[in-house]
Amino acid sequence: MKIIFIDWKCFNHDATIRTLQELGHQVIFYAHPEYNLPLSKSFNEDFSTFLFGKNVDLVFSYNFFPPVAEACHKASLPYISVVYDSPYVYLYSYTMMYETNHVYLFDSSWVRELNQGGLSQVRYAVLPAATHLSLPTGENAPDRVKADISFVGALYNEAHNFHERMTEKASDELKGYLEGILSAQSLIYGSDILKPLMTPDLLARMHQALPLVPDTTLAEPADYRYLNYVLHRKLTSMERFRYLQELGKHSTQDSRVIKLFTLDSTTEIPGISNMGIAEYKTEMPLVFANSRINLNITLRSITTGIPLRCMDIMSCGGFLLTNYQQDFSLHTIEADPAISPEDPLSTSAFLPGVDYDYFDSTESMLEKTDYYLSHEKEREEIAENGMRKVNAYYSLSSFFKRILPN
């Protein structure tokens, strides 16, 4: 097939292109400065000219872009998009209604919501991961990437973020209420109790303290930006700091090496070494392969889904310890009946204690880090199982074989 690839700095850019070409497809690159705007006349005109005489089969992009959807609709051309960001406001674009769209989301609760709204062309899919044939470990790896426990991710503590800007002007009553519901949500994974609490009265009070005006080209719910960009990000920041601080306290008792790889290299957490940014394509895989435990603390706008970070960790042969997310247990792909029932590959679902493990509280996180650091063979076997499952079911190659038309 001839596939137009919307060319931007997306994750797995090079690996995806290489995979598509290895599968025998011709990849045609297209880039435009306004590809990610809600509307763009310039994009539509340029894309129509670009299409002339090319006789392509479909257009592909990571994340969904309204100008691409609009142009494909006018050309009656299938548009396949795989969304890995959350939150993502463009899923509420009016262009999502076009029958030429084929949108894949990694959060089953998000898929249900959009399907119930009439968008039947939205489907669930676990995010694919680039596979790694070998990564240097042990003496062959730089000391910087070695750790007993590592966490790679943002802390959402940037200066003057949305929550900080809102609380500067919010009443004491509003601040107290929001603090209470955030604390309650922090005790629960797999279910969003904040969304039902976003009443018109609460939204009006939040809007008064921090006006966030929805884009008129989008049909996003009134609560979307306050829920996802204000509350969920604040809650994620609170949780990531809490878990890391508890790990740091624990590390002083047994000299663990715990490393944080994050955007803000100035953040200090006692007992944890802040290493700054780990570059996605080159250094991050080394961190995952050379950390005895890779910690994941999911961004709270991801209600049930498996974040790309988890897939990346397992694809590198890293041991994954994550907060509980429902979608790990979903059986989404038919297994080969020839595989022995005792083999973890007999199901495409990720099995806790077999392919990865999860925690559901600060106490269980500490217990499981203690356990796996003292049970080396079991930890290595679980990491190996996770990598085998990703390679078998969720590699880029197997993913595109499933979603691309024959």
Q: Return the domain boundaries, the chain.
A: 2-125, 138-155+243-393, 162-232
Q: Express as a percent the part of the chain with pLDDT over 70.
A: 100
CA distances from 72 to 2, 79, 91 (A): 14, 6, 16
| The two three-digit tokens of residue 93, written as one number | 């674009």
For 195-231, letters b (16+ CB in 10 Å) and e give bebbeeebbebbeebbeeeeeeebebbebbbbbbbbb
Instruction: Give the whole-angstrom CA distance, residue 395 versus residue 380.
Output: 21
> Poorest-confidence range of 77-91, 97-111, 180-194, 320-334?
180-194
Report helix, strand and coil shares of the chain as percent, to nearest 5: 45, 15, 40
pLDDT in tens, 1-25: 999 999 999 999 999 999 999 999 9
Residues 6+ apart with CB under 8 A from 290: 135, 137, 138, 141, 145, 146, 147
Shared fold status for 2-125 and 138-155+243-393: yes
pLDDT confidence of residue 255: 79
Q: Which residues, listed in sequence order, are joined to residue 80 by a DSSP beta bridge?
A: 60, 102
Average pLDDT over every residue of 164-168: 93
pLDDT confidence of residue 192: 86
Average pLDDT over every residue of 69-73: 97
Read off the pLDDT band of 53 (50, 70, 90).
confident
- Whole-number average pLDDT of the chain: 94
What letter would DSSP give residue 221?
A: -
pLDDT confidence of residue 159: 79
Read off the pLDDT band of 216 (50, 70, 90).
confident
pLDDT confidence of residue 406: 75
> Poorest-confidence range of 124-128, 252-256, 389-393?
252-256
> Poorest-confidence range of 20-29, 101-110, 134-143, 256-265?
134-143
pLDDT in tens, 252-308: 667 799 999 999 989 999 999 999 999 999 999 999 999 999 999 999 999 999 999
Q: Could you tell me if 319 and 379 are in contact, meaning their C-beta atoms sit under 8 angstroms apart?
A: yes
Would the pLDDT of 359 be above 80? yes
Can you list the alpha helix ranges (DSSP code H) found in 193-278?
200-209, 224-225, 232-254
Nearest one of 98, 108, 107, 62 to 81, comparing CA atoms: 62
pLDDT confidence of residue 215: 84
* CATH class label, 138-155+243-393: alpha beta
- Fold adopted by 2-125: Rossmann fold (3.40.50)
Query: Helix, strand or coil for residue 84?
Result: coil
Q: Pairing mode, if any, of strands 79-83 and 58-62?
A: parallel
Would the pLDDT of 68 be above 70? yes
pLDDT confidence of residue 253: 66
Would the pLDDT of 189 be above 90? no
Q: Pairing mode, if any, of strands 320-323 and 58-62?
A: unpaired
Instruction: Give the whole-angstrom CA distance, residue 368 versus residue 378.
Output: 12
Would the pLDDT of 160 be above 90? no
